[in-house]
A and B are shown apart, each in its own frame.
Chain A
Amino acid sequence: MRSIELAAGEELNPLIPHTAEIIVGFIAFSLLYMVLRRAVVPRFEKAFAERTDAIQGGMERAERAQREAEAALNQYKSQLADARGEAQNIREEARVQGAAIIEEMRAKAQEEAARITASAQAAIEAERQQAVNSLRNEVGALATELASKIVGEALDDQVRQSRIVDRFLSDLEKSK
């Protein structure tokens, strides 16, 4: 059973504090405060910080990896675009060069043709000149021969005259 023992006149008012308890409460609470503050709070804070760090670190790593992947993709894309551009340039250049070569060849061919034409003309001219020269010599000789024949016969007779010419011509033809 309960053992409630009270001295006569003992203060029963429960709102009146007790000196010993005040002292103990003060000391005990301060003690607990120091223990928790020194030994417990910093460690929990450390654990919290490390956990936050671990989670954030993981996320940061993932983000970094993604950024790197994106950078690589962009790089590849730009390289691809560069390569395409370069190919385009090369094609363009080749086309231009080809055109230039064709143009050059055509010019050369024309020049060559002109040269050949010119030399052929020169040759023809030379042969013609030669032919004219030889013709002139021959015609001179023939004329001289004809003249001597005509002079050797009587030239007043019309019929005779024409007969001489005919004979000369037929001789000429035979002599060919």
Chain B
Amino acid sequence: MLVSYAAEVGKEEGFNPPDAGDFNLPPFIEGNEFATKPILLVFLSVLLISIFFILSSRKAAVVPSKLQFAGESIYGFVRNDLGREVIGHEFMRFVPYLFTLFTFILVNNIFGIVPLIQFPTMSRISFPYVLAAFTFFIFHYVGIRKQGFFKYMKEIMFLPGIPKPAYILITPLELATYFLVRPMTLSLRLFANMFAGHLLLLVFILGGEHLLQGVIGLKLVSPFSFAIGIALTFFEFMVQCLQAYIFTLLTALYIAGALADEH
């Protein structure tokens, strides 16, 4: 995995359709793995989110300013619609985590369409992995704390109300669901959406750019390619928000499931 970018490899003349290689951005300091665009963007997102919410929550007035209202709306959305509605009366413990998760994913996703930045950090699988791992450990930890290790495992493995022989089939499935499928789908869904979205934008925008360099007939087609690229940018914005929402919602649902006595 050690990335050392050398000379261009395997690129031919003419239009190279964008591929996975487009996501492997080289470090801007030679040999320093931490000096890459995605890593910079992650820190930038932390900085931006922190500054925005610290400023908007600084006064915490009863009658909010516009800035406070903006920050509060986002916080209130995560707190009430994702926390309270889904988790129930113990929700307050998890609000900081859900809030961090939502804002972190949202901002890093939106980086994908912000001019000059234009790279969705979550299209780098490492970050969704990290987030899914957090969620994975948190909901299992919550379940074990709440019910005790053996009872928790028993509830996962042996669903009540099922004939005994069916456990041969159900138990491995349930185990796989809780310990593999959930974290994998969580991370892959986010990653794949961002990856595919970015790829799609690259295809139309780089395609349009390439068409401009072609013969006159191709030049005329080029604006359509750009137009689709712009339309897709709006579409991507929707997908980016939606993915942040889904990731947070599923996390809340998993936590709620672990807290519930009966599955």
Contact = CB atoms under 8 A, between A and B. Distances in A.
Interface in A31-50: 31-33, 35-37, 39-41, 43-44, 46-48, 50
A8 B10 CA distance: 9
Given A6-B24, A20-B36, A33-B97, A40 B53 contact: yes
A36 B11 CA distance: 45
B1 A11 contact: yes
A39 B42 contact: no
Interface in A2-31: 2-8, 10-22, 24-26, 28-29, 31
B22 interface: yes
Interface in A50-92: 50-51, 54
Given A17-B1, A40-B53, A47-B64, 12 more contacts: A3-B26, A5-B6, A22-B129, A26-B130, A28-B43, A32-B104, A35-B46, A36-B49, A40-B57, A41-B75, A41-B99, A48-B72
Contacts of B239: none
B39 A40 contact: no
Contacts, number: 163
A7 B6 contact: yes
B62 A18 contact: no
A29 to B, nearest CB: 6
B95 A41 contact: yes
A169 to B, nearest CB: 135
Contact of A17 (B96, B99, B125): B125
A86 to B, nearest CB: 52
Contacts of B64: 47
Nearest to A7: B6
Contacts of B16: 2, 4
B62 A50 contact: yes
13 contacts: A2-B18, A5-B7, A5-B26, A7-B5, A7-B6, A12-B24, A20-B34, A25-B129, A37-B100, A40-B54, A40-B71, A44-B76, A47-B61
B131 A25 contact: yes
Contacts of A25: 42, 126-127, 129-131
A75 B74 CA distance: 51
Which 6 A/B pairs are nearest by Cβ-Cβ distance? A21-B126, A25-B130, A37-B96, A43-B57, A20-B33, A17-B126
Interface residues of B, number: 64
A123 B115 CA distance: 142
B94 to A, nearest CB: 11
Nearest to B133: A26
B129 A17 contact: yes
Interface string A116-132: 00000000000000000
Interface of A: 2-8, 10-22, 24-26, 28-29, 31-33, 35-37, 39-41, 43-44, 46-48, 50-51, 54
Nearest to A2: B22
Given A5-B7, A25-B42, A54-B62, A14 B20 contact: yes
A53 to B, nearest CB: 8
B178 interface: no
B238 interface: no
A104 to B, nearest CB: 78
Contact of B43 (A19, A24, A33, A37): A24
Given A36-B103, A40-B54, A47-B61, A19 B1 contact: yes
A115 B12 CA distance: 155
B23 to A, nearest CB: 6
A2 B11 CA distance: 11
Which of B1, B5, B34 has most chain A Cβ within 10 Å?
Answer: B1
B182 interface: no
Contacts of A26: 130
A16 B22 CA distance: 15
